[in-house]
Chain A
C-alpha cells in the first residue's frame, strides 16, 4: 500500500509538472493571462506531492519491505536503521527520486516567495523548471520506478555495498544532489530570462542565492567525498581525478565562475550574456557528469548501477535541456542588450580574468575526462591521470590565484595599479619570502613549491579587503568572501604540503617490532580478530609515538564483509595539528609478520579544513544576501502600507 501511495504521488507530481509547463508556456503568449494563475499553485502542489513520494520510499526502507524490488536489492533487515534509511538514496532509482523531490521543493519555494522579477520572467522560469522536472519524472516512471514490486517477496535483502556502509558516505551523495538542484534552479532562471529578454541586475540578485546555496553544497560534497576516499579506500591519496570526482568538480568550477559573474551583473549590470551562458553551463556540467557516471561509458571506482538503457535516457534528456538551452542562447544572446562597460584594471576586470581562468580549467578537466571516450572511438585505449591534470590545470590555476589575491582590493569600473601599490608590494614580498623559506627546507618539485608560496600570500591577501573598515559594519557577504578566499589558501597549503612532504613506509613487521615513518615510531603490539554486525576483520593494534612523545593507540582493520562478499581496509588515523599519521594493516606476510603501510602527511588536514572554510564563507554570504532581501521586503511593504494609508 505504501509503495502504491508513493507511486501515485509521483504520477500526480508528474501531471502537475505537465500542467505547470503548459500553463507557463501559454501564459507567455499574448492573451494567455487566464492560465497564468495556475502556474504557481501547480508548482507548490507538485513540490508537496513529490516530497510525499520520497517520504514513502524512506518508509519502505525503514520497515525493510522486501516485496519492493528496490528495497530487496539494496537493503538488508540486519542493517542499522541509519543505513537502511541511507539505502533509500544509495542507489540509482532512489537517488533520482531524491533529486527530483528536492528540485520540486525548490520550485515550490520559488513559486511561493519570489516576487522580485517581472511576472512573465517568473512564469517562464517555472515553466523551464517544470520542463526539466518532467524529464526526470518520465525517466523515473518509465525506466527507474523505485516503487516496483517483486512478484514474490524476497526472503532477505541483498545488502548495500559494504564500502558504502559508512556514515560519511550516506550523506555525501545527497549533498551533491542539493548542489545540482540549486544549479537546475539557476538554469531555469537563465532560460526564463532569455525567453523574456529580461537579463537585469535584479535577475542576478534573484538567481544568486540559489547559486550560492548550490555552491556551498557542492563544496561540502567535494570536501567530504575527498576525505571519504582518503580514509576509506586505504590508498593514502585524497584526489584521484576519477571520472566521478571530475563529475562533481566540473559543476563546482562552473558554479564558482557563475557566482562571480552574477556578482558583477548584480552590482554593475555587466556580463549579461556571459552570466546566462554560465547558468546554462553549470547545470549542463552536472547533467553531463551524471550521464558519464550512470551510463557506464567511463569506468570508475565508484559503484553505480550502470545501464546503457538509462544512459540513453539521460542522453535524450541532455539533448533536450542543454541542446535546447544552448540553441535558445544562440538565438537570443545577441538580442540581450549589452551591459555596462568597464576598464581592464577594475574589480570587473579581475573577475572576468578569473572567470576565463576557471572556464579554462573547466575545459581542461572536461577534456581530460572525455578524452578516453574520444580516443576509444578510434580504437585506442588511454587513461588520463594526474600527469595531465596537475600541470595543465596549474597553468591556469596559478595566474587565477594571483589575481584572486589582488582582485578584491580593486574598485568597481575603473581603478589604477598605483592606488593599491602598497598592498601589492606586501603580497609580492610575502610570496617571495615564502618561496625562499620553502626552498631552504630542501629540494622539491615546482608545483608544490609554488603552491606553498602562493598559499601563504593568498592567506594574508584574503584579509586585506577588511583593512581600514570598521569590522562590525562589514557586510556578511564580504566576510563570506574573505573567509572563502582564505579557505582556498588553507586548502591549497594542505595540498602542496601533502605533495611535498609526505613520507611513506611499507614494512613487514612482527609483533613487538617498530617501524619508522617521518617523526613517528610505530610499534605493532598485537594482531587480533574483530567482528562487526556483518563483517569479520583482523585488527592491528599499533602504538605510535610522535618525536618520542606519549604513544597513541591506533587500530587499523582489514575487514571482510559477507553480504556481499568483499574486503575493505579501515585505515586508522592519528591527527595532530601539523598533520596526520595514516596506518593500514594488510595481510599476513608469512613467518608471523604483517604488512603495515604507514604515511606521515604533514598538514594534510588543511585540505579539508580549507574546504569547510570555503563552504562556511559561502554560507555566510548566502545568509547575508537573504537577510538583505528580507529587510528590503520589509521596507517595501512599509512603503506600500504608507501609500495605501495616504490614498485613504
Chain B
C-alpha cells in the first residue's frame, strides 16, 4: 500500500474540518452601514400618511438626538418590534420613521392597529434614502445625534433586550 493513495482522503478530511467548524459558527449576515459616524445625506421625504409630517435632513439638526426607524407596513418583523418602539417612546425617545415602498392607506392601517410611536413619517417609495444611509433591509433603527450625524445602527427588529442599549446610545449621542 502506498501512502499517496491516502492524499484524497486527507484533503477531504481537511475540508470536512473547515466546513464543520463553519457550520457551528453563528452566521453573521448583517451588512453594517459605512455611514455610521457620518452626517445624514441630504433628503426631503413627503409624509407617508395623512395627518403626519414628512421627514427631511433639517429635522435632525436642532440639537436633539433621535431614533430613525426604517420600516414598512408590509414587514412582519416591524409588527414584532412595535411594542418595543412604544416602550422607547415612553422612555423619552423621539422616533422618526421612514416607510419604505408603502401606501398611505396601509401605513395608516398599520399605525391604527399597532400604535404610532412616530413624530414624523417620511415616504421613501424607491428606497433611495434607505440606501443612501446604508440600510439594507427593514426594520433598521439608527441613532442620530443633534447635529444630524449617524451614531449607531441597529439591524433587524428591536427586541426587549435592545431597548436599554438604544436608550444608552441615545443618551451618549446627546452628550
Assess the A377–B5 pair: CB atoms within 8 A.
no
Residues on B with beta carbons closer than 8 Å to the beta carbon of A322:
12
> Given A329-B5, A370-B18, A565-B74, is A323 in contact with B12 using a C-beta cutoff of 8 Å?
yes
The A interface is mostly helix, strand or loop, or mixed, namely: helix
Task: Fill in one digit per residue for A293-314: 1 if any B CB lies within 8 Å of its CB, else 0.
Answer: 0011101000000001001100
Assess the B15–A323 pair: CB atoms within 8 A.
no
Assess the A330–B6 pair: CB atoms within 8 A.
yes
Assess the B8–A326 pair: CB atoms within 8 A.
yes
Residues on A with beta carbons closer than 8 Å to the beta carbon of B18:
370, 373-374, 377
A117 on interface, CB distance cutoff 8 Å: no
Assess the B23–A323 pair: CB atoms within 8 A.
no
**A573 CB to closest chain B CB, in angstroms?**
26
A592 on interface, CB distance cutoff 8 Å: no
Task: Fill in one digit per residue for B1-34: 1 if any A CB lies within 8 Å of its CB, else 0.
Answer: 1100110110011011011111101010100000
**Which chain A residues numbered 313 to 354 have a C-beta less than 8 Å away from chain B?**
315, 318-319, 322-323, 326-327, 329-331, 333-334
Number of chain B residues close to chain A: CB under 8 A: 22
B101 on interface, CB distance cutoff 8 Å: yes
**Which chain A residues numbered 264 to 287 have a C-beta less than 8 Å away from chain B?**
277, 280-281, 284
**In the assembly, what is the distance between CA of A373 and CA of B74, in Å?**
35
Assess the A373–B22 pair: CB atoms within 8 A.
yes
**B63 CB to closest chain A CB, in angstroms?**
33
Residues on A with beta carbons closer than 8 Å to the beta carbon of B29:
299
A575 on interface, CB distance cutoff 8 Å: no
Nearest B-chain residue to A298, judged by Cβ: B22
B126 on interface, CB distance cutoff 8 Å: yes
Find A295's partner among B5, B6, B23, B74 (CB 8 Å cutoff). Answer: B23
**B48 CB to closest chain A CB, in angstroms?**
16
Assess the B9–A326 pair: CB atoms within 8 A.
yes
Find A291's partner among B9, B19, B126 (CB 8 Å cutoff). Answer: B19
Assess the B19–A326 pair: CB atoms within 8 A.
no
Assess the B1–A334 pair: CB atoms within 8 A.
yes
Assess the B5–A334 pair: CB atoms within 8 A.
yes
Residues on A with beta carbons closer than 8 Å to the beta carbon of B25:
376
Assess the B19–A333 pair: CB atoms within 8 A.
no
Assess the B1–A370 pair: CB atoms within 8 A.
no
Residues on A with beta carbons closer than 8 Å to the beta carbon of B9:
323, 326-327, 329-330
Assess the A331–B23 pair: CB atoms within 8 A.
no
Residues on B with beta carbons closer than 8 Å to the beta carbon of A323:
9, 12-13, 16
A416 on interface, CB distance cutoff 8 Å: no
Assess the A297–B101 pair: CB atoms within 8 A.
no
Residues on B with beta carbons closer than 8 Å to the beta carbon of A587:
126
**In the assembly, what is the distance between CA of A326 and CA of B5, in Å?**
9
Assess the B16–A319 pair: CB atoms within 8 A.
yes
Assess the B27–A296 pair: CB atoms within 8 A.
yes
A537 on interface, CB distance cutoff 8 Å: no
Residues on B with beta carbons closer than 8 Å to the beta carbon of A291:
19
Nearest A-chain residue to B16, judged by Cβ: A319
Residues on A with beta carbons closer than 8 Å to the beta carbon of B19:
291, 295, 297, 315, 373
Nearest A-chain residue to B7, judged by Cβ: A330
**In the assembly, what is the distance between CA of A319 and CA of B16, in Å?**
8
A288 on interface, CB distance cutoff 8 Å: yes
Residue from B15, B21, B22 with most neighbouring chain A CB atoms (10 Å)? B22
Assess the B12–A315 pair: CB atoms within 8 A.
no
Residues on B with beta carbons closer than 8 Å to the beta carbon of A318:
16
Assess the B13–A334 pair: CB atoms within 8 A.
no
**A7 CB to closest chain B CB, in angstroms?**
28
Residues on A with beta carbons closer than 8 Å to the beta carbon of B126:
587
Task: Fill in one digit per residue for B152-164: 1 if any A CB lies within 8 Å of its CB, else 0.
Answer: 0000000000000
Assess the B22–A288 pair: CB atoms within 8 A.
no
**A190 CB to closest chain B CB, in angstroms?**
13
Given A318-B16, A327-B9, A329-B5: 15 more A-B contacts, CB < 8 Å: A281-B8, A284-B12, A315-B19, A323-B9, A323-B16, A326-B8, A329-B8, A329-B9, A331-B1, A331-B5, A370-B15, A370-B18, A376-B22, A377-B21, A565-B74
Q: Closest 8 A-B residue pairs measured CB to CB?
A: A326-B9, A330-B5, A330-B6, A333-B5, A297-B22, A334-B1, A326-B8, A311-B23
18 A-B residue pairs with Cβ-Cβ distance under 8 Å, sorted by A, are: A280-B8, A284-B12, A295-B23, A308-B27, A312-B23, A315-B19, A319-B16, A323-B13, A323-B16, A329-B5, A330-B9, A334-B1, A370-B15, A374-B18, A376-B22, A377-B18, A565-B74, A565-B101
